[in-house]
Amino acid sequence: MSLNVDSNAYTLGFATIIVVGVALMLSSLSVSLKERSKANVILDNKYSILKSVDKSITKADADKLFDDNVESFIVNYKGETRKAEQMEVFDIKIKDQLKKEVNQREVPLYIMKGEKGNRYILPMRGNGLWDEIWGYMALESDVNTVRGVSFDHAGETPGLGAEITKDWFMNNFAEEQIFDKSGNFVGINVLKGKNNPANAEMHKVDGMSGATITGDGVEDMITKSFEAYLPYLKKQKG
């Protein structure tokens, strides 16, 4: 039997079989590995939250450390908090919240209990040069001094914008303050060059050479993401 591989019916049939076959294969693979990759995402979430407090935490410890020490809350623009389940808080999309009017937002807040009082961990989300950037900032119990940050990105250039995930860049943020002396929110300015070490100014950190737009994105991300927390933070400062 000779098969006419170029007939219309055969072409249609072949296309259908290939498309349906590939679709079935990919969707069953995706579904069967979904639990695994979801667990990875949750663990990664916990890990990056904890990393903003302490860079020496390893991923293996992250799960237990988080469940034992961190409580999750939801904050509104009146400065009220509501304790919530971990998963409910993880599922809040910061991006969607940022699209709402600031007084309509309900945003996640993580509080880590420790010997030196509570540490407040706030999620952030913004735009880099190519794609989204996000991260967490941990504040000391004075609700002003930065304990640390952890950043991540979807598609910044390796060696340039992707440097925001490197320790040298993130360590710059430690001990900066987000409020000025009279209590107004100023955020943190990512400089185009380096902060003069002899006369380092508060609220300013070294930028990355060749990645000014990503640096500006980080600055913008902090300012915009913090808007919704300001009533709460001011209340805590007293």
Binding-site ranges for another protein (CB under 8 A): 3, 5-6, 10-11, 14-15, 18-19, 22, 25-26, 29-30, 33, 36-37, 40-41, 44, 130-131, 152, 154-155, 157-160, 209-210
* Smallest separation, CB 37 to another protein (Å): 4
Cα gap 30→22, rounded to integer Å: 12
* Smallest separation, CB 33 to another protein (Å): 4
Cα gap 123→225, rounded to integer Å: 8
Cα gap 236→59, rounded to integer Å: 31
- Could you give the residue ranges of the DSSP H alpha helices within 146-190? 167-171
Cα gap 131→221, rounded to integer Å: 13
For residues 134 and 226, which CB has a smaller minimum distance to another protein in the complex? Answer: 134
* Smallest separation, CB 153 to another protein (Å): 9
For residues 14 and 103, which CB has a smaller minimum distance to another protein in the complex? Answer: 14
For residues 114 and 159, which CB has a smaller minimum distance to another protein in the complex? Answer: 159
For residues 127 and 187, which CB has a smaller minimum distance to another protein in the complex? Answer: 127
CB–CB of 233/143 below 8 Å?
Answer: yes
Residue appearing with tokens 């003069």: 196
Contacts of 24 (CB under 8 A, 6+ apart): none
Residue 164's nearest CA partner among 175, 150, 176 is 150
For the chain, the helix, strand and coil percentages under 3-state DSSP, each to the nearest 5? 45, 20, 35
* Smallest separation, CB 28 to another protein (Å): 11
For residues 48 and 75, which CB has a smaller minimum distance to another protein in the complex? Answer: 48
* Smallest separation, CB 94 to another protein (Å): 18
